[in-house]
Amino acid sequence: STDILIVGAGQGGVQVAMSLRQGNFDGSITIIGDEPDAPYERPPLSKDYLSGEKTVEQLALRKPDFWHQHGIALCLGQRVNHINADSHSATTDQGSIYYYKKLVWAAGGFARPLPVPGSDLAGLHVIRTRQQVDLLLSEAETAQHIVIVGGGYIGLEAAAVMIKQGKKVTLLEVEDRVLARVAGKEISAFYEAEHRSQGVNIRTGTGVASLAGENGRVKSVVLQDGEKIDADLVIAGIGLVPNYEILKAAGAKCSNGVEVDELCRTSLPDIFSVGDCACHANSFAGDTYLRIESVPNAVGQARAAASAILGAPKPYKDVPWFWSNQYDLKLQTAGLNHGYDETLSRGDPDSRSFSLIYLRGGRVIAVDTVNRMKDFIAGKKLVEQAMIVDRKQLLGTEKLLDVV
């Protein structure tokens, strides 16, 4: 038995353990993770690990001896497949039963499978785990033409890496623009133009009907209008399916994820949930329930859960933020642009340094900044305070915050 059982050895689960120890928690902590790797960062998987600039050791969230030193039991390569909330116990696929006082469900999610015929062919890849990326890399070496399905952050980051490696890259996006779900039109247009100028063939409004292959390996991608595009490697970056079925089966209230409150408590006694699998009423989105898939969210929720366990509750209310690196461009976003009714831009996209500010009813609700760190920091504060800003000043001054 263990005092704290954490399911999922990723960003969120690990942060719960670390925050507990930082808060002088001296009970036992056990983390169960189904991947074979010690906890590591995912963001580089589509950036500098994919490009070979970071090694696998550099992905590690902590040095190998950290866990032992801090009395955190890491049980890797095991999957929790049943939870009994009444008896406070979890069972793994290897038949072990762990009794807990508190359980934290930090199970993240898995890459959404491409829902078309032919998706069982070899040569189709996703980017979620280190193992998946190593497999992709082993095949990418000899691949000539790579087709990427999905123009979200991961698809675009992968495209940026692959084109730099001299591959022919085609990116297919079913919406009429890339980043359609997360960014305004100006940001989408900028990134499309950038990728095209780097040589990526971006095709928006283009859906995939099936994959066609030979001897069990993908050879081409068939579009909805019947056109065939040759491909010897396909990467699907079409989103995430949150892992919550096991907790749902245990009786937790779930919608698009495990529903949690500001302290990341689920509807079940002594069970918390954090990170990509958890959904919460977000005050920056008018209290609508949503899941946020980002490192800062996983870390922030983990801190809130740990604070509750430590008996010094600090609710999670952080401004959501995120980053994406493509080429020499650092995109940083703060806030959630849901329901914006106006955008203002600062700087000139041609200078490769500009920002887009999203307003709703005159208040700043989000900012997207490209190579513009100061605007990001200032913008995050404006979002936090839901500032009403004077437009003329906002556009005119050098520093974003000086205007308020």
Binding site for ligand FAD (CB under 6 A): 7-13, 32-35, 42-43, 45-46, 79-80, 106-108, 127-128, 154, 243, 246, 275-276, 293-296, 298, 322-324
Using the minimum distance from each CB to ligand FAD, give the nearer residue, 24 or 138.
138
| Beta carbon of residue 59, minimum distance to ligand FAD (angstroms, whole number) | 11
Instruction: State how far the alpha carbon of 117 is from the alpha carbons of 58, 212, 279, 298, in Å.
Output: 37, 8, 31, 34
Q: How far is C-alpha 123 from the geometric centre of its chain's CA atoms?
A: 23
Q: Which residue has the tokens 């989105």?
A: 285
| Beta carbon of residue 222, minimum distance to ligand FAD (angstroms, whole number) | 26
H or E segment and range at residue 247: helix 245-249
Expressed in angstroms, the distance from the first to the final Cα of the chain is 54
In the chain, what are the helix, strand and coil shares in percent, each to the nearest 5? 25, 35, 40
What SS3 state is found at 237?
coil
Using the minimum distance from each CB to ligand FAD, give the nearer residue, 35 or 375.
35
| Beta carbon of residue 105, minimum distance to ligand FAD (angstroms, whole number) | 9
Rg (CA), the chain: 22
User: Within a 10 A sphere around the Cβ of 310, how many other Cβ atoms?
Assistant: 15
What SS3 state is found at 293?
coil
Output the DSSP codes for 163-229. Answer: HHTT-EEEEE-SSSSTTTTTS-HHHHHHHHHHHHHHT-EEE-S--EEEEEEETTEEEEEEETTS-EE
| Beta carbon of residue 52, minimum distance to ligand FAD (angstroms, whole number) | 15
Residue type present at position 314: K
Using the minimum distance from each CB to ligand FAD, give the nearer residue, 7 or 306.
7
Contact at 8 Å (CB) between 308 and 328?
A: no
Pairing of strands 363-370, 353-360: antiparallel
Using the minimum distance from each CB to ligand FAD, give the nearer residue, 34 or 173.
34
Bridge partners of 128, per DSSP, are none
Measuring CA to CA, which residue among 132, 108, 130, 36 is closest to residue 77? 36
Using the minimum distance from each CB to ligand FAD, give the nearer residue, 45 or 403.
45
Using the minimum distance from each CB to ligand FAD, give the nearer residue, 50 or 382.
50
Contact at 8 Å (CB) between 328 and 312?
A: no
Using the minimum distance from each CB to ligand FAD, give the nearer residue, 210 or 371.
371
CB hemisphere CA count around 107 (13 angstroms): 22
| Beta carbon of residue 157, minimum distance to ligand FAD (angstroms, whole number) | 7
| Beta carbon of residue 299, minimum distance to ligand FAD (angstroms, whole number) | 8
Q: How far is C-alpha 29 from the geometric centre of its chain's CA atoms?
A: 25
Residues 23 and 333: their CA atoms lie apart, in Å, by: 30
- In the bound state, the residue with its beta carbon closest to ligand FAD is 10
Using the minimum distance from each CB to ligand FAD, give the nearer residue, 220 or 273.
273
Using the minimum distance from each CB to ligand FAD, give the nearer residue, 88 or 389.
88
Contact at 8 Å (CB) between 357 and 372?
A: no
Using the minimum distance from each CB to ligand FAD, give the nearer residue, 173 or 394.
173
